[in-house]
């Protein structure tokens, strides 16, 4: 769990998928139906292109964006109440630009924010800390080199005095903890060579964002790379346990509830040469290789899962890459219900006030009631594509499309 001082007293959505990186809002109410003309509090154009999700602290909303060619990378701050652009900061102008996947942007990692400062990350191009009040850059790092050959994807998170970076490319796979005050490296852990040396270079990359869980009083940093899910001591980077599986690329981040850790593997190939991935539930109470002892259930899934499922009160909600919406019993892995839907859903679902929100790349947001019976209660559309994950605060939803940042009220 990520604890941010003051978050109970002010509006805050401090990381990708919220204060605890779980997609769950504590808002007592949330918008259900809207259009570009109804229930709209405001909208503001965000220049250039970025798939980073917004983060909020008090009256500030922060996100990143970049020119489509990657030559300029920005951090943008919008006032929560008025939609005024408070800061528009040119953070990096890289000397060299490398290729990325056509679906990606040069500004995909979501920032992390706390009182007085915001941290932004552009993968191999750099990481920076910005004074949230005056917009001045406090420190920068451009020397953390890893070849994320399809562009940046992993988001940042704050753990006590550390800023955690997930840096897995084709030649180097690291998790790095920086001193958040200075940007200096506190620890750096490499993925196990005995596992990763067997992979093709293209298969070693991963774009996940790790999480923190607490197991019997000990914090664990959970990171599912392309060939193994590994738990580390977040204070030192030392490995606690691992579950080995997969040979190529993970994108969806791990998630946790009621003492279980859930994660997607990288894809693998079966005896018929068909590619597949797996969704696993693991008991994190163990040491060493726990793949034979602590896996509670596993489910074969389509490959290249982008969105991270949401788990709430023992039920797991997701849409897979074949556009199948599902509710899965978290304890057993049994599918409670499933339904084919139209479109692609790469934005992660969020929860608020008894509702689950799924956002499609076509700009549609489907709202369902939580529970064991599928009940679709609204389908809403906005101008532009949705690749980012929305946030819900104080009865409002913030949605960043490819054109605008929208604030929608009840």
Q: Rounded CA gap, 361 and 319, in Å?
A: 13
Per-residue pLDDT tens over the stretch 77-129 = 999 999 999 999 999 999 998 888 888 899 999 999 999 999 999 999 999 99
Percent residues over pLDDT 90 in the chain: 86
Q: Which domain holds residue 32?
A: 12-408
Which range, 7-21, 28-42, 212-226, has the best average confidence (pLDDT)?
Answer: 212-226
Q: Report the chain's terminal Cα–Cα distance, integer Å.
A: 29
Q: Rounded CA gap, 298 and 156, in Å?
A: 28
Q: Does residue 301 belong to any structural domain of this protein?
A: yes
Q: Does residue 7 belong to any structural domain of this protein?
A: no
Q: Does residue 4 belong to any structural domain of this protein?
A: no
**Cβ-proximal residues to 130 (8 Å cutoff; 6+ apart), any chain:** 75, 87, 89, 91, 117, 118, 119, 120, 136, 137, 138
Q: Does residue 145 belong to any structural domain of this protein?
A: yes
pLDDT for res 339? 97
Q: Does residue 324 belong to any structural domain of this protein?
A: yes
Q: Rounded CA gap, 358 and 389, in Å?
A: 9
Assign 204 to helix, strand or coil.
helix
pLDDT surpasses 90 at 38: no
The pLDDT-based confidence of 361 (bands split at 50, 70, 90) is: very high
Count structural domains, the chain.
1
pLDDT for res 249? 87
Per-residue pLDDT tens over the stretch 141-164 = 999 988 777 888 999 999 999 999
Q: Does residue 65 belong to any structural domain of this protein?
A: yes
Q: Does residue 5 belong to any structural domain of this protein?
A: no
The pLDDT-based confidence of 9 (bands split at 50, 70, 90) is: low
Q: Does residue 2 belong to any structural domain of this protein?
A: no
Query: In b/e form, how buried is each residue of 174-213, taking b as 16+ CB within 10 angstroms?
Result: bbbbbebeebeebbebebbeebbeebeeebbbbbbbbbbb
Assign 409 to helix, strand or coil.
coil
The answer to whether the CB of 295 falls within 8 A of the CB of 241 is: no
Per-residue pLDDT tens over the stretch 292-314 = 999 999 999 999 899 999 999 99
- The CATH number that applies at residue 351 is 2.130.10.10
Tell me the sheet residues that pair with 25. Answer: none
pLDDT for res 2? 47
- Tell me the two tokens of residue 25: 């809002």
Residue 196: what are its φ and ψ, rounded to 5°?
Answer: -80, -25
**Cβ-proximal residues to 68 (8 Å cutoff; 6+ apart), any chain:** 48, 49, 106
The pLDDT-based confidence of 6 (bands split at 50, 70, 90) is: very low
**Residue in the structure block whose two tokens are 């990378």:** 73
């Amino acid at each position: 769990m990520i604890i941010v001082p003051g978050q109970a007293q002010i509006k805050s959505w401090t990381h990708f998928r919220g204060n605890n990186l779980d997609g769950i809002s504590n808002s007592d109410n949330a918008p259900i139906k809207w259009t570009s003309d109804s229930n709209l509090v405001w909208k503001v154009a965000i220049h250039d292109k970025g798939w980073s999700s917004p983060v909020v602290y008090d009256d500030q909303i922060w996100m990143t964006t970049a020119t489509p060619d990657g030559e300029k990378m920005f951090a943008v701050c919008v006032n929560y109440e008025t939609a005024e652009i408070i800061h528009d900061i040119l953070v990096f102008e890289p000397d060299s630009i490398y290729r990325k996947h056509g679906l990606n942007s040069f500004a995909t990692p979501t920032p992390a924010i706390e009182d007085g400062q915001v941290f932004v990350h552009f993968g191999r191009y750099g990481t920076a800390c910005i004074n949230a009040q005056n917009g001045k850059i406090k420190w920068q790092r451009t020397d953390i080199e890893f070849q994320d050959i399809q562009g940046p994807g992993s988001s940042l998170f704050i753990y006590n005095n550390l800023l955690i970076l997930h840096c897995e490319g084709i030649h180097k796979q690291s998790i790095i903890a920086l001193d958040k005050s200075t940007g200096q490296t506190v620890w750096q852990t490499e993925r196990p060579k005995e596992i990763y040396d067997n992979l093709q270079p293209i298969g070693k990359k991963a774009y996940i964002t790790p999480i923190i869980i607490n197991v019997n009083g000990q914090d664990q940093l959970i990171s599912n790379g392309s060939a193994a899910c590994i738990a580390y001591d977040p204070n030192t980077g030392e490995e606690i346990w691992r579950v080995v599986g997969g040979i190529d690329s993970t994108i969806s981040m791990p998630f946790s509830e009621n003492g279980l850790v859930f994660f997607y593997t990288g894809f693998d190939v079966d005896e018929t040469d068909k590619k597949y991935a797996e969704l696993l539930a693991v008991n994190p109470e163990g040491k060493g290789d726990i793949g034979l002892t602590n896996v509670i259930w596993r489910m074969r899934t389509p490959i290249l899962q982008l969105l991270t499922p949401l788990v709430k009160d023992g039920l797991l909600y997701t849409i897979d890459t074949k556009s199948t919406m599902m509710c899965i019993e978290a304890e057993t892995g049994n599918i409670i219900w499933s339904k084919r839907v139209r479109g692609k859903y790469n934005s992660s679902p969020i929860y608020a006030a008894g509702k689950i929100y799924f956002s499609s790349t076509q700009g549609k947001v489907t709202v369902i009631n939580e529970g064991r019976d599928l009940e679709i209660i609204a389908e809403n559309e906005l101008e532009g594509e949705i690749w980012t994950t929305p946030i819900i605060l104080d009865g409002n939803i913030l949605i960043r499309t490819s054109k605008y940042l929208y604030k929608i009220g009840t």
